[in-house]
Structure 1
Amino acid sequence: MLAANAEEAEKFRKETEAGDYDLLEGEIWWRDRHQMLIDHGYQLRPRLRPGWEPSWNNSNKNPLYCEDAHVGLRLAGGGTIDAVRIMDGKDVGIRPIKRVSSERTIFKNLADAQHLTGQDQHIAHILDTFEDDRDPDLVFVVIPLMIPVWFIASSLKTISGIVDLFKQLLEGLSFIHSKNVAHRGLWSYIMLDAPSMFPRGFHPSDYFQDHSGVHQIKVLPPCKASGPVRYYFADFRHSIDVGQDAKHLIFGYEHPVGADFDAPEWTAIGTYDPFRADVFIIGKIFNEKFISKYENIDFLSSLVEAMTAKKPEARPTAADALKRLQTITSTQSFFTLRHQLVEKDSKEPESLLSENINILLDVAFHGLKIALKMPSRTISLVRRMKRGSKEKETAK
């Protein structure tokens, strides 16, 4: 988009000359490693390449509508940078981690353990690792580019969307605990990998913009996504490996600083069980983000209340919470789980009618979706079985 007039164009020129769009310190840190990343097969965005000049220079373009005007505010303090894997164009995230650190050890051990199971255990997949040529104390861990769950929470339009998130997080937490690790992470550390929910992608520096950095992002609810919707634990900077100790207790003051959700025992004097604290955090997240907001997911309340019990010993383990969730959801009908979420104190007839129409459409096309997903060899097998049955009837 161009400047509205000469006066606005002059304003943009002065802002640019004044340094309003200059690289931040965290961006400069990555720019200085551009060639190293190229050598390892990764390309940064134009803004972060050496010799970058704003694309709107010597033009009447509005910088707010230029991709390279997006400032990397999240890069301060060693944040994850986005890049493109040169060999196949895949979007990835690259995170610097201390070479000798519990974070690196825990992440690697969990990723290796996940690989051995042959199943997705909701640990972010490590695609590559390499050392920092400039700092021998750092290594880079490459993972798929993902978006924080907190950004898309309001896009979980159906009950099944909430249940699936709950289930996947408990699956991941159960796996982490089974390896004697307490996650102790924040809501902001839980990531979503679901490209089909973002038809035009998303911009890593501004989640409200699509991949172009110019247009508003388009987010589809999970129920309308054409591909997998998977949630991952992707940050282990606060995690602790408690070893084989059956009691796995740690001191109360050992907890993440600045946590957006915290457990009561984090402020206590003495020791506490970090596994039960993890359960509390997940329960509190669901209570504050979903249970307290929507009226038609009350069937989850009893489980969430148990997970957020004041006394840690009264809370279920992550594995037990997962079993209870599976039992609870098994009692809900196909129709119920596909209900649109209804906000409390919001019952306009139009919204309820729209909800019911969506349910009917979902049910009507459910069988068709399943049929379309059947492998061709399975369909061929069904046809052969039918022919065999007819031949037997003819023989009789």
Structure 2
Amino acid sequence: MTGPQAQATASEPPAIKPQFDHAVLQSGEVFWRDHQRWLEQKGYMLRPRYHPSWVASWRGADDSWWNYEDSTPAARPPVMDATRIDTGEIVVLKRISKSEYPTEAEIMQFFTAEPLGSHPRNHCVPLLDHFDVPGEKNYQILVTPLLRKYNDPRFKSVGEAVEFFRQIFVALQFMHQLKVAHRDCTEFNVMMDPRPTFPDLYHPQNPRMNLNWNGAPQYYTRTARPTKYYLIDFGLSRKFDPEGDPPLEVPVLGGDMTVPEYQDSTSPCDPFPVDVYYIGNMINEDFLLTSKGVEFMIPLINDMIQDDPSKRPTMDEVVSRFDDIRRKLSWWKLRSRLIETSEGNFERFVRSVRHAVRTTIHVIRSRPAIPTPND
């Protein structure tokens, strides 16, 4: 493009059309402003946007609101980031209704307390702290580490995907062996520890920006810096009697509405095969249907998402079968690139060249093809 139109486009700001005034807190954010001083006394500092005396920093400035960190509202108002005053660690505060989710804190405490808390097969997000909200008997604050969506950034190699499969299968197996059903282990509730791959972290409300709000965050691949994956959100989870019969529960609809048992939402069903379906369908939709390179997972995933829950493998069987699959994968296969089916020819060429360079560096530095973190 040339001429006046090109010059105008180059000088104009991004075509951002806010639906609200960024200088005014949204209704869901008011709670955090009103409890900022109390949270500070508890040891947690909220960002300036939620201080009672906050005034938008771009007011009166010769600049646009999107250039300022405090213009960013909470993406999900019941969930807020904060800084632990004693350590400087960024954490996540989650406000829950005790009447709606009465066992969430209890189950998180169960997996956080020793000896389970440090168990290498435990991938349940730890509960760092929890406390009731003063004057609001029904509400409670849960404090957890800052985590990032499990597939952001994208997986670069088959070996990285294989390690993800291993960890998430073990995570659910561990819960099931302790007779706890997650009941909502969908893609939204599977996260990764960002600290190895993002050593300088990123803005907790906008993962595309760094903490200083002046550019994109720097990160390493999972092969260079192996990471750990976590299950979160135990609001629908249930702990059952280890000695009891297989449980039958009326379905509580989670994030994946395709579960065959849930098509009749009034018939009790065993929640453990539902979990198997959830994880299997997540891998089916996020990998098998969108990528090339992990076709070896098709037989196992097809069994996990069968309509008949009695024909699905247990998580013990899933882990055992996956271990057999993983042992048979060649070094070359594990090092190969995970190709997204949406890639165009030019994009595929560029990514392939970059992958070849990265892989050469990984091999020279003796980095394993399956990047397993030190638990």
Does TM, normalized by the shorter one, top 0.5? yes
SS at match of 1:271: coil
Partner of 2:206: 206
CA distance in 1 between counterparts of 2:56 and 2:358 reads: 46
CA distance in 2 between counterparts of 1:113 and 1:65 reads: 45
| 1:300 to partner: Cα distance | 1.4
CA distance in 2 between counterparts of 1:368 and 1:356 reads: 15
| Structure index of larger Rg | 1
Within 5 A, what are the aligned runs for 1:304-315? Answer: 304-315=301-312
Partner of 1:126: 127
CA distance in 2 between counterparts of 1:338 and 1:331 reads: 14
Measured against aligned partners, the alpha-carbon deviations of 1:117-174 in whole angstroms (never above 9, x if no partner) come to 6435001111122221231232222111112225x1x521111111111111111111
CA distance in 2 between counterparts of 1:298 and 1:368 reads: 21
Question: For the Cα contact (< 8 Å) 1:98–1:104, is it kept in 2?
Answer: no
User: Which range moves more in the overlay, 354-363 or 48-57?
Assistant: 354-363
Q: Which amino acid aligns with 2:320?
A: K
Question: For the Cα contact (< 8 Å) 2:224–2:362, is it kept in 1?
Answer: no
CA distance in 2 between counterparts of 1:310 and 1:327 reads: 24
Measured against aligned partners, the alpha-carbon deviations of 1:291-322 in whole angstroms (never above 9, x if no partner) come to 12222211111111111112111111112111
CA distance in 2 between counterparts of 1:57 and 1:350 reads: 43
CA distance in 2 between counterparts of 1:203 and 1:171 reads: 30
Partner of 1:172: 171
Are residues 1:240 and 2:242 paired? no
Within 5 A, what are the aligned runs for 1:317-356? Answer: 317-344=314-341, 351-356=351-356
Q: Which amino acid aligns with 1:235?
A: D
Structure 1: unaligned runs, 5 residues or longer: 375-396
SS at match of 1:155: coil
The structure-2 alpha-carbon separation of the partners of 1:214 and 1:262, relative to structure 1 and needing over 3 Å to count, comes to farther
Aligned residues between the structures: 350
Partner of 2:4: none
Q: Which amino acid aligns with 1:157?
A: K
Give the one of 290, 295, 298 matched to 2:292. 295
Are residues 1:106 and 2:132 paired? no
Structure 2: unaligned runs, 5 residues or longer: 1-7
Within 5 A, what are the aligned runs for 1:63-78? Answer: 63-75=65-77
Q: Which amino acid aligns with 1:303?
A: L
SS at match of 1:224: coil
Partner of 2:28: 26
Measured against aligned partners, the alpha-carbon deviations of 1:313-362 in whole angstroms (never above 9, x if no partner) come to 11111121112111111111233212111234867566545444433332
SS at match of 1:136: strand
The structure-2 alpha-carbon separation of the partners of 1:209 and 1:60, relative to structure 1 and needing over 3 Å to count, comes to same
CA distance in 1 between counterparts of 2:144 and 2:267 reads: 37
Question: For the Cα contact (< 8 Å) 1:261–1:285, is it kept in 2?
Answer: no
Question: For the Cα contact (< 8 Å) 2:183–2:271, is it kept in 1?
Answer: yes
CA distance in 1 between counterparts of 2:317 and 2:135 reads: 46
| 1:54 to partner: Cα distance | 0.9
SS at match of 1:322: helix
Question: For the Cα contact (< 8 Å) 1:70–1:213, is it kept in 2?
Answer: no
CA distance in 2 between counterparts of 1:306 and 1:291 reads: 14
The structure-2 alpha-carbon separation of the partners of 1:327 and 1:29, relative to structure 1 and needing over 3 Å to count, comes to same
CA distance in 1 between counterparts of 2:231 and 2:367 reads: 33
For the aligned residue pairs, the C-alpha RMSD in angstroms reads 3.0
SS at match of 2:216: coil
Question: For the Cα contact (< 8 Å) 1:155–1:219, is it kept in 2?
Answer: no
CA distance in 1 between counterparts of 2:219 and 2:256 reads: 25
| TM-score normalised by structure 2 residue count | 0.84
Partner of 2:5: none
CA distance in 2 between counterparts of 1:221 and 1:111 reads: 28
> Relative contact order: is structure 1 or structure 2 higher (C-alpha 8 Å, sep ≥ 6)?
2
CA distance in 1 between counterparts of 2:236 and 2:188 reads: 13
Q: Which amino acid aligns with 1:262?
A: T
The structure-2 alpha-carbon separation of the partners of 1:213 and 1:351, relative to structure 1 and needing over 3 Å to count, comes to closer
Question: For the Cα contact (< 8 Å) 1:261–1:284, is it kept in 2?
Answer: no
Partner of 2:359: 359
Question: For the Cα contact (< 8 Å) 1:114–1:121, is it kept in 2?
Answer: no
Q: Which amino acid aligns with 1:121?
A: N
| 1:104 to partner: Cα distance | 2.1
CA distance in 2 between counterparts of 1:250 and 1:199 reads: 42
Measured against aligned partners, the alpha-carbon deviations of 1:219-246 in whole angstroms (never above 9, x if no partner) come to 4331232xx5111112111212333432
Partner of 1:58: 60
Q: Which amino acid aligns with 1:293?
A: T
Question: For the Cα contact (< 8 Å) 1:114–1:123, is it kept in 2?
Answer: no
SS at match of 1:161: helix
Q: Which amino acid aligns with 2:182?
A: H
CA distance in 2 between counterparts of 1:129 and 1:289 reads: 33
CA distance in 1 between counterparts of 2:352 and 2:117 reads: 47
Q: Which amino acid aligns with 2:23?
A: Y
Partner of 1:231: 229
CA distance in 1 between counterparts of 2:274 and 2:368 reads: 43
Partner of 1:391: none
Q: Which amino acid aligns with 2:180?
A: V
